[in-house]
Structure 1
Amino acid sequence: MINKERLLNLFLDLVKIDSPSLKEKDVAAFLIKLMEEKGYEVKVDKAGDACGGNTGNVFVRIPATCEGDPIAFSAHMDCVQPCIGVVPVVENGIVRSAGETVLGSDDKAGIAMIIEALTHLKEESIPHPEIFFMFSICEESGMHGAKNMDTALLPAKNVVVLDSGGKVGTLVVAAPAKAGINMTFAGKSAHAGIAPEDGVSAIQIAAEAVSNMNLLRIDECTTANLGRIEGGSVTNIVTDRATLTAEARSTNEESLNSQLKHMEKCCADAVEKVGGEYKFEYEISYPVLKVDESSPILHKVENCCKNIGITSSRIPTGGGSDANILYGKGYSVLTLGIGMTKVHTVDEYIEVSSLTDCANLVAEIMKG
């Protein structure tokens, strides 16, 4: 049986360790010590050096005790702000923070579940194939740990990622690609009271472009949003520069490309109407994730759910995670819903039963 008290205590210990993105060294040290004391091989890559962090991703190798294909499990060590000085509160079977910070179940619940599942297998002498853990950095700030990981330290082809909301049994089979967009509009400055006709307002160009853009929900698989606008200073000068920061997401690459072309055309049309110049730049932050219907890891996990009486459901999600990056690197990936709720807010919580149910599921997946 999964040891509920041990699992809960591990989770509480983890959330009390400060680990904002780029500063996961203390939680990494905790996990390294814990796993080495259990006798496992632990390695840390140089992903932190590539993104300015104070540690790299932590990898653990667990030798096989029976025949079978290797399998990996992944969860991230960092949390969104505010996450300094988390005080967890357990009441009526629910864990939440005291209210001043996030809880950190995203994603320390995933870490605790993975470790407890393995501990259970070892205690009960349950056979398992070779297992790998990847505890990543900087997922919340752009999946920089996964992007810069040493893939040689994760040789298993199949990876189960514990990093989604939804009740235990939720299986994420699609997640969007995301494009980060920067639009810069250049006008011409002039005195707004004496010779405004000599100027071209960059703010006016931007406004014209935005007024014609299709935004927010575009279709069932595509979204776009403007996050920030900057430009101008004083009211007596025609603004000569304005910038817009935006994003577009889609689980369909064709739809994403179409939305990007549409947004750029709105910029070009605005310049043609108002004057001035524009620059439209974007970067694909992470690729589309699509789990194939025939995916062996999908069917394995669904069968494991059945074995322990959990109802499984396949869902798409609108957010990206390390799973997108791993998928883009050629891994066969499946993300599990672990029961965390209201993540990225100070109202975040998780039920103790979700911790134990998901740890039980992970243990079932680990079995040979």
Structure 2
Amino acid sequence: MDYLTHNEIKYVQQHLEENIQLLKTLTEIPSPTFHEKKRATFCLNWLQSIGANAYMDNVNNVICPINGENNETLIIIMAHNDIAFPDIQNIQVKQVDNKLFAPGIGDDTANMVNMLMTIQYIIKMRLQPKYQILFVINSGEEGLGNSMGCRQIIEKYHSKIKEFISLDGYLNECTYCAVGSKRYQIDVKTHGGHSYVNFGQENAIAWIAKIITQLNQISLPTEAKTTFNFGKIEGGSAINVIANHASVTYEFRSSSQQCLNIMEQSFQKIINNINDKHIDIQIKVLGERPGNGPLSQEKMRKFTSRNLNIIQHFYKKNIILCENSTDSNIPLSYGICANTIGTIIGGDAHTYHEWIDINSIPIGFQVAMALILQYVDWELRI
């Protein structure tokens, strides 16, 4: 089965250098989580320059609707704009042999560029999809961004969405299952004092240790893989001072929303059972991503199988079906069929020496085109 027409393959070949140049330009525009506006503005101007009816919303999502035969049903195609590093000021793309190096170049800039170049083709050819497609360059995917941009789109349109694809990650991965999470910071404050003179008074570090011990003893639910972690401990001021403040970050994860709910109940029970007038406990939610909701497994199987066939037509190596925490978490929690699919080969994501393989760009470009153009009738494309 052919997934691209002769003209579509020709477009990829003729616009490969444009793809690479756009990738370099966008990668060198800093776009940390919560500070995506500069790059978002570039994307908005670029889309408008090719004739797209694009706009930016209040959380710096760039949204580009393409009207379809049925505008009451939506397909969401998304790629996130933010990168994992908050401190990037001057980014330079460097090439060594067949690799391009720069933080954020693969996660998620290269995937976003493949989406942009496909939008350009749709507009140029005046293609009308079966359903309205909302292309979204979304904000706040990384870290404590908590899928902010995606969440706003899904909450607004969830009743109309038929299917969702997030272009993110590498060509050999397809995420079909959401790993949800809840992240907390637990702060304990006490009066403190001198380690000898005031010995016996409440110590915030000791209390954090007690809380960690109790959380560590929670019986994990078994319906799906469920994990927890203590990521960072802070507190105290000196060896001879009874600590008057200490904190710990704590998270739990699962692919099952029910398991997440059980972990939440156990967590709250432990915190609520602490009753000591000499300490003050404050709980702060750092982030929350939902797990899988009431999803039709048969629909999800067919949807994922269809997308896998498209990827494997162009990428001949093995593809791993993954459980991950991605933007797909949000639609999956609503019971919407969603995959997160990569269109590039690379490595060292979330590091300063992240890289992508230039030779994989034309393959991923074709994958992105085929994944998106599956929503346009073949007869309109030839």
**Retained in 2: the 8 A contact 1:176–1:287?**
yes
**Retained in 1: the 8 A contact 2:186–2:281?**
yes
Query: Which runs of structure 2 are paired with 1:109-148 in the superposition (5 Å)?
Result: 109-120=110-121, 128-129=129-130, 130-140=132-142, 141-148=145-152
2:175 corresponds, among 155, 172, 177, to 172
2:349 — aligned with what?
A: 343
1:356: how far off? Answer: 2.2
Q: Which amino acid aligns with 1:342?
A: D
2:66 — aligned with what?
A: 62
**Retained in 1: the 8 A contact 2:327–2:340?**
no
Pick closer, same or farther for the CA change 1:239–1:103 going to 2, 3 Å.
Answer: closer
Single out whichever of 242-251 and 287-296 deviates more from structure 2. 287-296
1:51 — aligned with what?
A: none
1:250: how far off? Answer: 1.3
2:97 — aligned with what?
A: 92
1:41 — aligned with what?
A: 53
Q: Which amino acid aligns with 1:138?
A: G
In 2: Cα distance, 1:341 partner to 1:171 partner:
16
Single out whichever of 173-182 and 258-267 deviates more from structure 2. 258-267
**Retained in 2: the 8 A contact 1:173–1:334?**
yes
1:184 is the counterpart of 2:187: yes
**Retained in 2: the 8 A contact 1:186–1:242?**
yes
1:293: how far off? Answer: 4.4
TM-score (norm 1): 0.80
**Retained in 2: the 8 A contact 1:66–1:127?**
no
1:323 corresponds, among 322, 328, 331, to 328
1:162 — aligned with what?
A: 167
Pick closer, same or farther for the CA change 1:208–1:366 going to 2, 3 Å.
Answer: closer
Residues 158-200 of structure 1, C-alpha deviations (whole Å, 9 max, x = no match): 2210122x4x152101121111123233445343222413x12
Query: Which runs of structure 2 are paired with 1:1-368 in the superposition (5 Å)?
Result: 1=9, 2=12, 3-47=15-59, 56-64=60-68, 70-81=74-85, 82-97=87-102, 102-120=103-121, 128-129=129-130, 130-140=132-142, 141-149=145-153, 156-164=161-169, 166=170, 168-197=171-200, 199-211=201-213, 213-214=215-216, 221-262=225-266, 276-277=278-279, 279=281, 281=283, 283=285, 285-289=288-292, 292-295=297-300, 296-308=302-314, 310=316, 312-317=319-324, 320-328=325-333, 331-338=336-343, 339-367=345-373, 368=376
In 1: Cα distance, 2:185 partner to 2:154 partner:
30
Identical pairs, percent: 20
Pick closer, same or farther for the CA change 1:242–1:58 going to 2, 3 Å.
Answer: same
In 1: Cα distance, 2:89 partner to 2:227 partner:
32
1:249: how far off? Answer: 1.3
Residues 227-284 of structure 1, C-alpha deviations (whole Å, 9 max, x = no match): 3333333444423442222211111234334444555666678x68x99556474646
Q: Which amino acid aligns with 2:173?
A: T
Q: Secondary structure at the match of 2:365?
A: helix
2:3 — aligned with what?
A: none
Q: Which amino acid aligns with 2:185?
A: N
Q: Secondary structure at the match of 2:54?
A: strand
Show structure 2 runs of 5+ residues with no match. 1-8, 377-382
Q: Which amino acid aligns with 1:159?
A: F
Residues 64-90 of structure 1, C-alpha deviations (whole Å, 9 max, x = no match): 489997533101111122432111122
In 1: Cα distance, 2:355 partner to 2:232 partner:
30
In 1: Cα distance, 2:332 partner to 2:164 partner:
9
1:53 — aligned with what?
A: none
In 2: Cα distance, 1:268 partner to 1:66 partner:
51
Pick closer, same or farther for the CA change 1:24–1:331 going to 2, 3 Å.
Answer: same
1:136: how far off? Answer: 0.9
Residues 9-33 of structure 1, C-alpha deviations (whole Å, 9 max, x = no match): 1111110112222222222222122
1:113: how far off? Answer: 0.8
Q: What count of residue pairs does the alignment treat as equivalent?
A: 348
Residues 71-119 of structure 1, C-alpha deviations (whole Å, 9 max, x = no match): 331011111224321111223221113xxxx143211111101122344
In 1: Cα distance, 2:311 partner to 2:71 partner:
22
In 2: Cα distance, 1:60 partner to 1:263 partner:
41
